[in-house]
Amino acid sequence: MNIQTPPSPPGDGIDEGKRLVRLGGDRGLSLAERLTDRFQRLAWRTPIHRLALRGRYPLKLLAVADDPFMGDAARGNAMLQGMLSYRGETLNIAGLSLDRPGFSRPFAEYVHSFAWLRDLSTVAPRVTAAPIAESIMRQWLDAHAERVGDPAWRADQWGRRILFWVAHAPLILSSSDLIYRSRVLNTLARGSRHLERVVDKAPAGLPRIAGWSGMVASLLMIPGGDGRRAGAEAGLERALGASLFGDGGVVSRSPDAQAEAIMLLTMLRATYAARRLDAPGWLEQALVRMVAALIGLRHGDGSTGSWQGSAPMDADALDQIVAATGVRTRPLRQPRDWGYHSITAGTAALILDAAPPPVARVVEGGCASTLAFELSDGPNRIIVNCGGARGCHHSVADMLGEGLRTTAAHSTLVIADSNSTAIHADGTLGRGVGEIELTRQEGDGSSRIEASHDGYVRRFGFVHRRQLILSAEGRDLRGEDMLLPRGRKRRGDTPFAVRFHLAPGIEVAPTADGQGAFLRVPGGALWQFRARGAAMNVEDSVWIDPRGRPHATRQLVLSGETPPGGTSVTWVLHRSR
């Protein structure tokens, strides 16, 4: 088996072993950019835009692509019972009221993307699934085929929709009703022309990748599209350049977005295959880098951690994604801008967030998680982040969902209950971490990462520096969290807390001196935690599972006050048996 190694990013002039990671671009959209985006969406409703959507309508698709991924069987079975279900929200298919929706935004995006076609096809043969798919399609056409507006006509939603339509065409085009079939094909063609005008305005990252992927897929499948395909392929290549870091991570730094982008590009590649064409080489190279970045987030059980609002992805789902791509590559352990550094030793796996949060223009729901880490021992998680802010079950209160984005919801240091990067009332990220210095050293006896961020300098006058040392056998993790004075001088002491959120199922027994605790993980392994420089308490916490459901758990909290000259807290996790 050939192992593909993702190409390294070009040299940046920084000494070997040391990295300086800066926040890219502006923190958010300028007023002019916000107004431009608003005017563009208003322009969708004008007669001029509607005229631009006119043109030759196809009579058929040139081929039927393959969807290389399995859907969610529970959601598919719900559809067989006449219900659409997503993250705990369930509605009757016969009464969706798509022209006046009363459901949540995540549910709306599930409906408009037509991702439910994958779930339905997973559990039912064509003869059973086609009438259900046609019923929802007719409702969608009645509500949105002629009415151009947000969110149904958003560029990323059209991109996803086209990919699912061409991959599951037998479910939506099996009817003998020629008028209905014509409406479906005509709407697809209009969506393609809409994308041609708006897709480059989609936010960089997953939205732009989705839009351009659908654009290319439409030109592959609509008769007469080959003449325009080269321009669309150039647009997708340009979008990947703007949406991916050099190390293959998506600019939103979201594992969920990373996984979906990989899946969309893999579906596009299957569309090329349906036409018996080879996908461009740059598309294959992008997939190699992207897969390497995603599997670099794996813990010992094969699942991912909780980063930038993403819930963990279980091992089976991740295995399916990687297998469908056909990519065989090594995990990305030492990224640059993607930022998730990982160390494996013995049965232990450690992952550290060592990059600034994403800029506001490329993500909604970003988290103030800088220098948070997770630790697992074989199949057992030990230290986690609460996670899941963007993928919570419908039953989770909005207030809790927003709380999951805070620095306190991550296993890192917090000053005065403040976020290291501000989270605005509208959900965007504000000022905070703009620069991270990082040094990494590998030795025979241990692996060491030392990183610092400037997120608290402006408000409190301190740099947070964290040092993590994992022994070669993976039985000892030694850490030090330092607050170093910089910039403005402060008077008096400043409160801080270093939080270690524990995975569900871990039994906690504090030591008699209050400076440590015994942690028993499922299966019997025992870890001992000891700390110096702060008082330790055990508090309640929460963890969001891969299905978006919350689980009550516990956290170790080291709290104290730092004088103006700074402070240091040292701690160790030791596996005793």
Chain segment 107-139, per-residue pLDDT in tens: 999 999 999 999 999 999 999 999 999 999 999
At residue 9, the pLDDT reads: 43
Residues forming beta bridges with residue 469, ordered by sequence position: 448, 478
Report residue 398 as tokens: 């909005």
Q: What's residue 287's pLDDT?
A: 98
For 447-492, write each residue's pLDDT tens digit: 999 999 999 999 999 999 999 999 999 999 999 999 999 987 677 8
Q: How far is CA 116 from CA 130, 145, 351, 383, 554, in A?
A: 12, 18, 33, 34, 36
Q: What is the pLDDT of residue 482?
A: 98
Q: State the SS3 of 479-517.
A: EEEEEEECCCCCCCCEEEEEEEEECCCCEEEECCCCCEE
Read off the pLDDT band of 11 (50, 70, 90). very low
Which pLDDT tens digit goes with each residue over 542-574? 999 999 999 999 999 999 999 999 999 999 999
The predicted structure's pLDDT at residue 31: 43
Which two tokens mark 183? 């409406």
What pLDDT shows up at residue 572? 98
Which run of H or of E encompasses 191? helix 178-198
Q: Which of 60, 114, 67, 116 is nearest to 273 (CA)?
A: 67
User: What gap in Å lies between CA 518 and CA 535, rounded to an integer?
Assistant: 16
Name the residue among 569, 558, 23 with its Cα closest to residue 253. 23
Mean pLDDT of all residues in the chain? 90
Residue 72 has a pLDDT of 96
Residue 523 pLDDT exceeds 90: no
In the structure, what pLDDT confidence band is assigned to residue 1 with cuts at 50, 70 and 90?
very low
CA torsion 158-159-162-168 (nearest 10°) is: -120
d(CA 202, CA 18): 34
Taking only the tens place, the pLDDT of each residue in 62-77 is: 999 999 999 999 999 9
